[in-house]
């Protein structure tokens, strides 16, 4: 009997001691431990190249902010996993970040397709997720309340190229691109946009991811006698399409490849064939936005390569999250959500403003750039243009 | 359909067939002797393409000048892989099949990781011979023409090697009857090493030329493995003439289906044909043991 009593007393004493130690210990730790922000990034798989910039954008902001003392007196830490460019993997990793790693906030992954999948996880856990790498409108029409678009809407991407086509009287438009979420979101909206501009779509067809050949698509573009080619392409397919055009000796008067040629190494891998190609970016080191010049120079010194729009968009999204946390004065998911939904603020990317009901981006715009003499120049919109667009796209025999 | 278009699509299809054949020949060499389906085949192609692109952009060495280096480099890599890794497979071909798939899959991952570490994830390509030759209304892509000629030359060289040289005869003996060849004093282990070296060398030569056609990064390998496998299965495992024929059929199918059907249909044609062949002619068009 006394034995039982003794062990119970001991257990109770131990429990008290443990609680007494641990409870204040936890409170103590919560004040000093870093604020953890979780995300997945495609470090392998087909998105790996661009996603590297996205990750570095996140990392740079956190590094700079920590140098300034962090947020609410606490350091900030980024916890990331590699989603292997796969939406299903990303979904389970976000669950892990929230359920097992207990991160304080989440931010968006790379690509529209993966963000669309992960948005449901954010919604389920009621954690606001600002997403710098989703430009497709589709995830924002599902009645979700916790996801915010941190980059220009993809339907704005082609506006510059269409304006150039219209100004030069290029009426016949061929539309193509990779058959995946982001290109489809643009290509799907193009018939309306081109019609509004008074242009005629004479060919429209998407090609599959990792296509082994583009000559059949080019043969159809040739048959359609299009003046302008709007191809919503990533890097490898932009190179593939450009080569197929050249080998078939087909030179539409305007050639636009969406985001493939936005990457700086397009000029190196495509060589002189890049000249005249139009593309879209959402950011330039020359933009007169707050802190932009410092961001651009810090990025190149830290990572040894110039920043691109992915890096800028991810950096800008953390600017918004940081402002939201400061505004909430606590790690309060609802207050942060409301701030993201309703605030208007300037970031390195431009004017952040979303539709409070859907989270769709309204403030940020797109820039159209053109390869000229082996370099990229902004050619539209006119207010931000560094050079005039050179059209028509030179005939292959005259290069 | 007007005649020019038909001619253009036919030429595009045949040239694409040359590209497919070039990709597939090396896979077939290795399978012919060892019965190993090398799932790291595409990764070797891509590794060579990345090397060729860097050689061109940093040293100005053209992919055609790179060919001998690519072949030797690929052959050495293949021989080393066989000596270190594949030699440990059970010698009984039937028992080795599953193990060899897992093993070559693992080697593929290893090469991807290695390439990522060395070349980063950037897409690379060689802007060389990107023009089209104009023959009246028909245009012929220069780089594809090179790949087409190379495919025929390599298939021819392989045929001569296998039929007219002692090593070739020994390789053929090993591929036809392992026990019989061993009983005749043929060193089977050596034959396997040679076939891996030969197959990997051909794959690397192909990759060097592919850098003029495709933009690749270290993750692009599996698409070439899949494509090569459907070409080889169509033409018949172990048959080089079959590989050329199978590749030509696939190239034409992609070209015509891509134009008259859709780009999607063009892309799936190799696999549709692949499934049809498996169903109706499992040994391939010119495969050994075909009726």
DSSP of B215-267, one letter per residue?
-B-GGGHHHHHHHHHHHHHHH-TT-HHHHHHHHHHHHHHHHHHHHHS-HHHHH
Chain A residues with CB under 8 Å of a chain B CB are 44-46, 48-49, 52, 176, 179, 205-208, 210-213, 215-217, 219-220, 223, 235-236, 239-240, 243-244, 246-249, 265, 268-273, 396
What distance in Å separates residue A8's CA from the closest CA in chain B? 56
Residues of B in contact with A249 (CB under 8 A): 132, 134, 139
Lowest mean pLDDT across A94-108, A220-234, B30-44: B30-44
pLDDT at B290 over 60: no
pLDDT of B2: 85
- Locate the chain A residue with the closest alpha carbon to B224: A212
Q: Is pLDDT of A3 > 90?
A: no
CB spacing of B255 vs A220 below 8 angstroms: no
Closest Cβ–Cβ partner in B141, B215, B270 for A247: B141
CA A302 to CA A279: how far, in whole Å? 27
Q: What is the pLDDT of residue A8?
A: 54
Mean pLDDT (chain B, rounded) = 90
Cα–Cα distance between A56 and A49 in angstroms, integer? 12
| Model confidence pLDDT, tens digit, residues B221-245 | 999 999 999 899 888 877 888 899 9
Q: Which residues of B touch A232 (CB under 8 A)?
A: none
Is residue A371 exposed (0-12), middle (13-18) or buried (19+ Cβ within 10 Å)?
buried
Q: What is the pTM of this model?
A: 0.83
Handedness of CA B58, B113, A302, A264 (dihedral sign): positive
Angle between helices B93-119 and B41-59 (to 10 degrees): 30
Interface check for B38 against chain A (CB to CB < 8 A): the answer is no
Q: Does B131 contact A268 at a Cβ distance shorter than 8 Å?
A: no
pLDDT per position as a tens digit, A12-35: 544 444 444 444 434 444 567 999
Q: Who among A220, A269, A270 is closest to B259 (CB)? A: A220
Q: Tell me which residue in B127, B223, B266 faces A210 most closely, judged by beta carbons.
A: B223
* The token pair that represents A5 in the structure block: 């009593």
pLDDT higher than threshold 70 for residue B94: no
**CA geometry: angle A136, A322, A53, nearest 5 deg:** 50
Cβ separation of A207 and B264 shorter than 8 Å? yes
When CB atoms are compared, the residue of A206, A211, A215 closest to B255 is A215
Residue whose entry in the numeric block shows the structure tokens 């190239």:
B251
CB B71 within 8 A of CB B205: yes
Residue A205's DSSP bridge partners are: A176
Which candidate in B125, B226, B248 is best for mutational testing of the A interface (most A CBs within 10 A)? B125
Contact A187, A201 (CB under 8 A): no
List pLDDT tens digits, range A367-394. 999 999 999 999 999 888 999 999 999 9
The answer to whether the Cβ–Cβ distance between B125 and A269 falls below 8 Å is yes
């Amino acid at each position: 009997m006394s034995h039982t009593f003794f062990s119970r007393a001991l257990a109770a004493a131990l429990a008290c001691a443990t609680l007494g130690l641990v409870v204040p210990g936890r409170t103590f730790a919560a004040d000093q431990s870093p604020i953890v922000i979780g995300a997945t990034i495609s470090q392998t798989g087909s998105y790996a190249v661009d996603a590297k910039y996205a990750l570095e954008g996140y990392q740079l902001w956190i590094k700079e902010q920590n140098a300034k003392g962090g947020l609410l007196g606490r350091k900030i830490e980024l916890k990331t996993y590699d989603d292997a460019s796969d939406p299903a993997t990303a979904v389970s990793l976000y669950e892990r970040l929230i359920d097992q790693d207990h991160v304080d906030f989440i931010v968006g992954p790379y690509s529209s397709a993966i963000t669309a999948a992960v948005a449901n996880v954010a919604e389920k856990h009621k954690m606001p997720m600002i997403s710098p790498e989703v430009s497709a409108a589709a995830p924002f029409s599902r009645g979700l309340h916790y996801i915010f678009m941190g980059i220009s809407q993809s339907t704005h991407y082609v506006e510059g190229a269409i304006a150039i086509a219209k100004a030069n009287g290029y009426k016949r438009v061929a539309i193509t691109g990779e058959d995946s979420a982001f290109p489809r979101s643009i290509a799907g909206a193009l018939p309306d946009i081109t019609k509004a501009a008074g242009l005629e779509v004479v060919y429209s067809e998407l090609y599959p991811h990792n296509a082994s050949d583009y000559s059949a698509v080019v043969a159809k573009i040739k048959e359609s006698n299009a003046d302008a080619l709007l191809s919503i392409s990533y890097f490898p397919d932009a190179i593939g399409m450009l080569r197929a055009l050249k080998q078939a000796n087909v030179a539409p008067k305007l050639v636009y490849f969406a985001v493939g040629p936005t990457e700086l190494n397009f000029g190196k891998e495509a060589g002189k064939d890049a000249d005249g190609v139009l593309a879209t970016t959402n950011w330039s080191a020359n933009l007169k936005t707050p802190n932009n010049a410092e961001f651009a120079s810090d990025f190149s010194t830290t990572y040894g390569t110039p920043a691109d729009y992915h890096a800028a968009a991810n950096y800008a999204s953390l600017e918004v999250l940081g402002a939201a946390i400061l505004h909430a004065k606590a790690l309060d998911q609802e207050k942060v959500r409301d701030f993201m939904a309703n605030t208007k603020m300037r970031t390195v990317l431009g004017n952040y403003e979303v539709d409070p009901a859907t989270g769709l981006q309204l403030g940020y715009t797109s820039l159209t750039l053109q390869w000229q003499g082996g370099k990229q120049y902004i050619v539209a919109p006119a207010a931000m243009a560094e050079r005039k667009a050179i059209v028509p796209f030179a005939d292959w025999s005259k290069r | 359909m007007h005649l020019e278009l038909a001619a253009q699509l036919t030429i595009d299809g045949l040239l694409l067939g040359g590209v497919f054949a070039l990709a597939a020949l090396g896979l077939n060499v290795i399978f012919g002797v060892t019965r190993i389906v090398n799932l790291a085949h595409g990764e070797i192609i891509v590794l060579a393409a990345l090397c060729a692109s860097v050689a061109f952009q940093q040293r100005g060495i053209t992919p055609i000048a790179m060919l001998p280096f690519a072949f030797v480099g690929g052959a050495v890599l293949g021989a080393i892989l066989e000596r270190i890794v594949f030699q440990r497979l059970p010698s009984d071909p039937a028992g080795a099949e599953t193990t060899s798939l897992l093993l070559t899959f693992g080697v593929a991952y290893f090469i991807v990781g290695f390439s990522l570490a060395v070349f980063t994830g950037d897409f690379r390509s060689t802007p060389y011979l990107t023009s089209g030759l104009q023959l009246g209304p028909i245009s012929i892509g220069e780089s594809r023409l090179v790949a087409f000629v190379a495919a025929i030359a390599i298939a021819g060289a392989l045929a001569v090697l296998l039929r007219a040289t002692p090593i070739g005869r020994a390789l053929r003996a090993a591929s036809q009857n392992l026990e019989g060849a061993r009983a005749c004093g043929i060193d089977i282990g050596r034959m396997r090493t040679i076939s891996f070296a030969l197959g990997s060398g051909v794959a690397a030569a192909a990759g060097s030329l592919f850098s003029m056609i495709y933009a690749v990064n270290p993750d692009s390998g599996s698409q070439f493995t899949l494509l090569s496998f459907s070409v080889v299965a169509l033409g018949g495992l172990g048959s080089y003439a079959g590989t050329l024929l199978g590749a030509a059929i696939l190239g034409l199918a992609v070209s015509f289906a891509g134009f008259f059907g859709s780009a999607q249909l063009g892309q799936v044609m190799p696999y549709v044909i692949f499934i049809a062949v498996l169903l109706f002619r499992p040994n391939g068009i010119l495969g050994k043991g075909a009726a």
